[in-house]
Amino acid sequence: MIRHFRAALSRQASLGLLCAGLALAATTARAQSPAPPAFEYRVQFPAVEQRWMQVEARFPGLPPGPAELRMSRVSPGRYALHEFAKNVFDVQITDGQGRPLASRRPSLHQWDVAGHDGTVVVRYKVFGDRTDGTYLSVDPGHAHINAPAAFMFVRGALMRPARVQFERPAGRAWQVATQLFPTDDPLAFTAPNLHYLMDSPIEFSGFVWRTFTIDDGVHGPQTIRIALHHDGTDAEADDYARDVEKIVRQQMRIFGELPKFDGGTYTFLADYLPWADGDGMEHRNSTVVSNRGALRQPAQRQSILGTVSHEFFHAWNMERIRARAIEPFNYEDANMSDELWFGEGFTNYFDGVALARAGLLTEEQLLGDFAGIINAVTLSPGRQLRSAVDMSRLAPFVDAAASIDRTAWPNLFISYYTYGSAIGFALDLSLRDRSDGAVSGDDYMRAVWQRFGRTPSEPGMVATPYTIADLEAVLAQVSGDRVFAREFFARYVEGRELVDYARLLKRAGLIVRRPQEGRPTLGSVQLSAGAAGVRVASLVAFDAPLARAGVAQDDHLVALDGVELTQPTQVAEILARHRPGDQLALRAVRRSGERFETSVTLAEDQRIDVVPAEQAGQPLSDEMRRFRERWVGVRP
């Protein structure tokens, strides 16, 4: 037995040495084999006035067999299909020696190329005329490039590095702003992989730079850059940069630190122009913020700064704290997630809180936002049908998705921005209420960041994505109460209940009241003058008095309470003479032409607003004052 055992042991040792030798040889071979060559893109602008650009993409180091060239159907940060291939034309494909290659089109988004020599070169033009965070825009003023709308890629090769070379249009001294990594050439940039390239917007124009440096005490000094393309003054640019810095510093306090930006730099690509479209789109080390307007217009300032606050908060929440369902991003189909109530909704809540703490949002404006959130989730019939999780899943249908048919969305859907904001609002106040202000929503976001966002990861990737169960576990940790965490998620996230906002807000000396109490309504509906009376111009809520009376969109109200109708103002005058519960005779015409008579029972207007106790003539205790100051940083 021993002899046989020793012989077996000897054979095992010999086998081990052999395996170790083979492993060493394989490791050495891998170490000696060259890294795959980078994909190369050259971008030219022969005719900016015609709003297209020329792209040459060179894909070397391809394996044998057909290469599958693709245009993305979606864009990182968007969830719906945008079909970027629709703007690509004049496609010419060759091998590495310049020999023409034929392609097969298995879909509108793909070119299959066989017979190449390991290299495929594709030249094409792409049209773009929308300046926002999703599309491409080329004109004599700039090239505003969203990478998925501009660059083809090779299917199955998303981890390949890339280099992008820009050429200036004739006669224009444009410069480049992007989160792509710089080279010695000011017009050439690199990406470590195609995920990062697709996540990297580019502004190529005569913009102005504004920069500031922040040391968070953790990662050392990091640079925040603003590439501002606008038609304003230097003084306006300076004021804007100061406000951006205030926002950045307030949000840094929520998380306890800045993200460790790749290259130590974060870039705002800001376009405020008469022909831009209002938008904001987050990226790992940058964001696009745009608006159809100007910094000099005070009426637009709040919207502009609100977008800045929202998008920068995403540098933590979405870009590094990311749901497992959308990591990695899928460029070939819509991206569905159960967690957008958190990724977008909590961001929506905290962007307003950060603005208030920075002194860029008045208490009145903040409370108006809170009232709007409460009204939206309380009064929408959609909450009776779908939870915040359900609403998140619907993003591909509503996230700037294009369709021409009517839907019942006003009755079925609450934006995950709004619904999630209501949940973030509730969670923050609930934690503060339970702990007498010792624990807050800030603590919760910081804990989520520490567990899921802070882990180092390769640019373009997220190392530790989360699930809803993970978010609940963090709440249990922060609150110290697993039962509370389970109940909160079951009732308000996965369920369709709402917290008692009036009770929670009272801790801050804020009063929830119904300014329209005792006033009647037909429901939240738009009315317009029509040929046969007053036209119902919007969808009627399922539970509205008009719906119960059998009235729908496009019907005409001919007479109400015995009054022949010709103008919407008459309806308001009639309602002013009545009270909730009154039954009014109604004559109407359906859009099909059918006439009918019915009665409508008036309901009470349930909308609320939120006001400070001192404004409502109620006492404000020192405890309420301190609670409010710690929460939103506004001194009553």
Contacts of 610 (CB under 8 A, 6+ apart): 367, 368, 370, 371, 374, 505, 510, 511, 512, 513
Q: Over the range 361-384, which residues count as b (16 or more CB within 10 Å of their CB) and which as e?
A: bebeebbebbbbbbbbbebbbbbe
Euclidean distance between CA atoms 611 and 619, whole angstroms: 13
Check residue 403 and give its pLDDT.
85
In percent, how much of the chain has pLDDT > 70? 94
**Predicted local confidence at residue 145, as pLDDT:** 98
- Tell me whether residue 401 is exposed, middle or buried, using C-beta atoms within 10 angstroms of its C-beta: 0 to 12, 13 to 18, 19 or more: middle
Q: Among 599, 532, 595, which residue's Cα sits nearest to residue 566?
A: 532
In angstroms, what CA-CA distances link 177 with 79, 146, 211? Answer: 25, 12, 12
User: Any residues with CB less than 8 A from the CB of 47 and at least 6 apart, and which?
Assistant: none
> Helix or strand or coil: residue 253?
helix
Question: How many Å is the Cα radius of gyration of the chain?
Answer: 29
524-546 confidence digits (pLDDT tens)? 999 999 888 999 999 999 999 99
Ranges of residues in the chain with a pLDDT under 50 are 1-30
Task: For residue 227, give the nearest of 180, 163, 297 by alpha carbon.
Answer: 180
User: At 351, which amino acid appears?
Assistant: D
d(C-alpha 587, C-alpha 602), whole Å: 15
In which region does residue 256 sit, left (phi positive, over 0), alpha (psi from -120 to 50) or beta (all else)? left
Please state the pTM of the whole predicted model.
0.93
Check residue 532 and give its pLDDT.
86
Dist CA 15 CA 111 (whole Å): 48
The angle formed by the CA atoms of residues 555, 559 and 561, to the nearest 5 degrees, is 125
What was the pLDDT predicted at 636? 63
Q: What is the pLDDT of residue 445?
A: 98
Q: What is the dihedral of CA 110, 111, 117, 122, to 10 degrees?
A: -100
Looking at residue 293, what is its pLDDT? 84
Return d(Cα 340, Cα 79) in angstroms, integer.
10
In angstroms, the CA 188 to CA 211 distance is 21
**Residue with tokens 């030249």, as numbered in its chain:** 123
Q: What is the DSSP letter of 326?
A: G
Cα 439 to Cα 376, 428, 448, 505, 630, distances in angstroms: 27, 9, 14, 16, 11
